[in-house]
Amino acid sequence: MIVAQIARIPPAGVAAFQQFESVVLPLMPRYGGRLHRRLRSADSCVELHIISFPSNDALDAYRSDPIRAEHLHLLVESEAVTELLELADVP
């Protein structure tokens, strides 16, 4: 499965969001996940990830990872608004 995650982060939350990402993105391979692209706006207030996981269950397992859960407060503190979109290749 291919997923795009869009995060919109208030300027005051950028540091906390980036700290959260630095902890959780390296966890993805444990669940078969792969970060294909990580794009960020010039002001760091919008970030887009193109990621893949072998299944919805693998994505759910990643999102339930205990280390990720331990650092979830950083995402909350960042006040980022995130959107997760499941996508497919277009022929």
Of the pLDDT bands very low, low, confident and very high (cuts 50, 70, 90), residue 69 is very high
Taking the chain, what is the end-to-end CA distance rounded to the nearest angstrom?
16
- Would you state the pLDDT for residue 63? 95
CA 66 to chain centre: 15
pLDDT at 17: 97
Instruction: Give the mean model confidence (pLDDT) for residues 46-75.
Output: 97
H or E, element range at 14: helix 14-24
Which H or E element spans position 69? Answer: helix 66-78
Q: Give dist(CA 36, CA 5) in Å, integer.
A: 12
pLDDT digits (tens, 9 = 90+) for 78-91: 999 999 999 998 99
Enter the tokens of residue 41.
């706006």
What pTM was computed for the model? 0.89
